[in-house]
C-alpha cells in the first residue's frame, strides 16, 4: 500500500511539471507558508541557526528571513519536477548558467566544483549536467521509489558517476583523476568523523575537510558554482578557479571554504538551508543548541 501511495504521489508531481513556472511558484509560496506555520521543529531549527549566525539582527528580522526561506525552499521542491521531466529547451530558458567555460582546462587538470546548500542546488546540478559529465555524491533515500526517481533525474542528461556517501574517498579520487568534475558540498554537519571545528559566522561548526584533502591528493582546481533562485527561474554562477588554494594547512583551507560560503549566504540569506542542524555536533563540553 505504501508503495502504491508513493507512485500516486510521484504521478501528482509529474503533473506539476506541465504548469507554467509562475503557477508553480504561486503554489510553492502557499506551501512554504503552511510549512512555516505548522513545521514547528524545522522552524525552530531555522530560527536557532539565524540567532547564532546573525546576533546583530532583531528577532523580527530573523523571523522574516526564516519565513522567506520556507517559501523559497518549498518553491525549489516543486521546481524540482521540472528538472526531472521538463524538456531540455524549457530548462535552458529557466536555468541560465554563466561561466561554464571554467569547467574545462586545456591542461586536463582535475576539477572540484564546490557548491553550498542553497535552495537552487538541484536546479544548478541539473543544468550543469546538460553540458558536462561529472561526478556527484548523494545520500540514499529510504523510500526506494523516490530513490529511483531521484537517480533517474540525476542521470537524465549525462550518465556521469553517482557515488553514495558510503562509497568512501578512494572512489571519489578515482573519479576526479579520471576527469569527472566533482560537484561537492562541505557545509552540513556530518558528525565528528573526518570533521574539524571551524568558525561559521563566528560559531564553531563541525566541517568536513574533503575539499582540502581532495585538492591536495589529486592536484585539482577548485571552481565554485552557486545557484540563485530568481523570479523567472535560476541563475548559475561558475567562478574562475581559485588561485590561492590550497592554503598553508588543512585547517586554513577549511576556514577558507567556510568564509566563501558565508559570503554567498550574505548575498541571499533567505535561500540558505537554515532548516539543517548545522551546529548539531559541539566541541567537548559545549552545550547543545537544538533539543
| pLDDT at position 161 | 82
Burial of 53 (0-12, 13-18, 19+ CB in 10 A): buried
| pLDDT at position 123 | 95
Secondary structure of the chain in HEC code, one letter for each residue: CHHHHHHHHHHHHHHHCCCCHHHHHHHHHHHHHHHHHHCHHHHHHHHHHHHHHCCCCCHHHHHHHHHHHHHHHHHHHHHHHHHHHCCHHHHHHHEEEECHHHHCCCCCCCEEEEECCECCHHHHHHHHHCCCCCEEEECCCCCHHHHHHHHHHHCCCCCCEEEECCCCHHHHHHHHHCCCCEEEECCCCCCCCCEEEEEECCEEEEEECHHHHHHHHHCCEEEEEEEEEECCEEEEEECCCCCCCCCCCHHHHHHHHHHHHHHHHHHCHHHECCCCCCCCCCCCCCCCCCC
- Kindly report, residue by residue over 23-50, the tens digit of the pLDDT: 999 999 999 999 999 999 999 999 999 9
Under a CB-based contact definition with an 8 Å cutoff, are residues 183 and 227 in contact? Answer: no
115: enclosing H helix or E strand: strand 111-115
- Kindly report, residue by residue over 230-269, the tens digit of the pLDDT: 999 999 999 999 999 999 999 999 999 999 999 999 999 9
Residue bearing cell 508503495: 3
Give domain limits for the chain: 2-271
Considering the entire predicted model, what is its pTM? Answer: 0.93
Cα dist from 167 to 27, 161, 175, 210, 214, whole Å: 37, 12, 12, 14, 15
Q: What is the mean pLDDT of each run of 10 residues along the chain (291 residues)?
A: 77 92 98 97 98 98 98 97 95 96 85 96 93 82 73 77 78 89 91 92 96 94 97 97 94 97 98 97 93 83
| pLDDT at position 146 | 66
Amino acid at each position: 500500500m505504501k508503495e502504491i501511495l508513493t507512485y500516486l504521489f510521484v504521478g501528482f508531481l509529474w503533473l506539476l511539471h506541465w504548469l507554467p513556472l509562475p503557477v508553480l511558484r504561486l503554489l510553492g509560496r502557499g506551501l512554504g507558508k503552511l510549512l512555516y506555520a505548522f513545521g514547528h521543529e524545522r522552524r525552530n531549527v531555522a530560527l536557532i541557526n539565524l540567532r547564532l549566525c546573525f546576533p546583530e539582527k532583531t528577532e523580527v528580522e530573523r523571523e522574516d528571513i526564516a519565513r522567506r526561506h520556507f517559501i523559497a525552499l518549498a518553491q525549489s521542491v516543486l521546481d524540482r519536477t521540472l528538472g526531472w521531466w521538463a524538456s531540455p529547451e524549457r530548462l535552458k530558458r529557466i536555468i541560465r548558467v554563466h561561466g561554464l567555460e571554467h569547467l574545462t582546462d586545456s591542461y586536463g587538470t582535475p576539477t572540484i566544483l564546490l557548491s553550498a546548500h542553497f535552495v537552487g542546488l538541484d536546479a544548478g546540478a541539473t543544468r550543469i549536467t546538460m553540458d558536462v559529465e561529472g561526478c556527484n555524491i548523494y545520500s540514499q533515500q529510504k523510500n526506494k521509489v523516490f530513490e529511483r526517481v531521484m537517480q533517474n533525474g540525476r542521470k537524465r542528461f549525462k550518465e556521469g558517476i553517482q557515488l553514495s556517501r558510503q562509497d568512501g574517498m578512494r572512489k571519489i579520487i578515482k573519479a576526479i583523476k579520471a576527469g569527472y568534475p566533482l560537484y561537492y558540498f562541505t557545509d552540513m554537519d556530518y558528525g565528528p568523523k573526518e570533521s574539524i571545528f571551524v568558525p561559521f559566522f563566528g560559531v564553531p561548526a563541525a566541517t568536513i575537510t574533503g575539499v582540502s584533502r581532495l585538492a591536495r591528493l589529486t592536484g585539482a582546481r577548485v571552481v565554485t558554482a552557486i545557484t540563485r533562485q530568481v523570479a523567472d527561474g535560476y541563475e548559475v554562477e561558475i567562478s574562475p578557479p581559485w588561485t590561492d588554494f590550497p592554503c598553508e594547512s588543512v585547517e586554513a583551507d577549511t576556514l577558507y571554504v567556510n568564509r566563501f560560503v558565508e559570503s554567498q549566504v550574505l548575498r541571499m540569506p533567505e535561500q540558505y538551508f537554515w532548516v539543517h542542524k548545522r551546529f548539531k555536533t559541539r566541541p567537548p563540553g559545549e552545550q547543545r543548541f537544538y533539543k
